[in-house]
């Protein structure tokens, strides 16, 4: 499932509990027009893919979406329309693909950032 939202999604959420709950509900990716910065980072930290797409508001409820995180391409199969989101930078994509910051650091044998 993909959660599609409007502007400043996650505003007021300063802890990781909000993206954890969204991920726990089965959401595989969030696409929104914009995000609260701390929400964006918390989502990345727990391995929840999150794309910024200025046209997200045009996506209809129930649309079948295909998302490419590396390119930022969002294919709306229902409306036969493509949207371009900002692709995730390589280092963010690596964290998300690892399942979050902790698994990423464990995978790379990084014990501290000192």
Can you tell me the distance from the alpha carbon of 29 to that of 47, in angstroms, rounded to the nearest whole number? 10
β-strand partners of 84? 73
pTM: 0.89
Helix (H) or strand (E) holding 38: helix 37-45
CA distances (Å), 59 to each of 11, 54, 68, 89, in order?
A: 21, 11, 16, 24
The per-residue pLDDT string of the chain (114 residues; one tens digit each, 9 = 90 and over) reads 999 999 999 998 788 899 999 999 999 999 999 999 999 999 999 999 999 999 999 999 999 999 999 999 999 999 999 999 999 999 999 999 999 999 999 888 766 555
Can you tell me the distance from the alpha carbon of 100 to that of 114, in angstroms, rounded to the nearest whole number? 20
What is the model's pLDDT at position 26?
96
């Amino acid at each position: 499932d993909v959660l599609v939202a409007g502007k400043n999604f996650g505003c007021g959420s300063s802890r990781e509990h909000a993206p954890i709950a969204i991920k726990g509900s089965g959401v595989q990716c969030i696409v929104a027009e914009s995000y609260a910065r701390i929400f964006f980072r918390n989502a990345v930290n727990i391995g929840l893919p999150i794309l910024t797409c200025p046209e997200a508001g045009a996506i209809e409820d129930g649309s079948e979406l295909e998302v490419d995180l590396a390119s930022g391409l969002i294919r709306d199969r229902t409306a036969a329309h493509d949207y371009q989101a900002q692709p995730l930078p390589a280092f963010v994509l690596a964290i998300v693909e690892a399942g979050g910051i902790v698994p990423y650091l464990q995978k790379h044998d990084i014990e501290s950032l000192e």
